[in-house]
Amino acid sequence: MLKKVLFVCVENSFRSQIAEAYFNKYAPSGWAATSAGLTPAEEVHQNAVRLMLEEGIDISRKKPQILTRDLQEKVDVAVIVCSSNLCPVVYTRHVEEWNTPDPAKMPLDEARKIRDSIKTKVLDLIERVKSGQQP
């Protein structure tokens, strides 16, 4: 049975989309990721698309989706990637909080650092999952 990770932020347009894309690119067998937000944006932020294209990952066709109770109940791990009091509360077996600053209004060079930080955290999560550690 496929195990799932849910990446959550407010608009599901930048941080959570990047985390989902990295996880799915490097996911161990039997694992997959999705992402959602409390108040989803109309589209994925253009800088997120640009930064992920630099990594060879195209997220231009992704659509932000709303965080539902049903979605939360179907995942094994949830990761809250945002860092404000607007971040959603997630109800699932295991929840991590990464407290990642919002890159949406940052210059591209600063946003790139956030992307790289998310990649490092995703790869760490994948290593923990692969080694059988509690994520």
- The answer, yes or no, to whether residue 24 has pLDDT greater than 70, is yes
The arithmetic mean of pLDDT across residues 16-34, rounded, is 96
Query: What's residue 135's pLDDT?
Result: 64
Is residue 82 part of the annotated active site? The answer reads yes
Query: What's residue 52's pLDDT?
Result: 98
First to last CA, the chain: 18
Taking the domain 3-118, which CATH number applies?
Answer: 3.40.50.2300
Is residue 9 part of the annotated active site? The answer reads yes
Is residue 118 part of the annotated active site? The answer reads no
Lowest pLDDT segment from 16-25, 56-65, 66-75, 79-88: 79-88
Catalytic residue among 27, 59, 78, 87: 87
The arithmetic mean of pLDDT across residues 95-111, rounded, is 93
Q: Long-range CB contacts (< 8 A, 24+ apart) of 105-108?
A: 108/47, 108/50, 108/51
- pTM for the full predicted model: 0.94
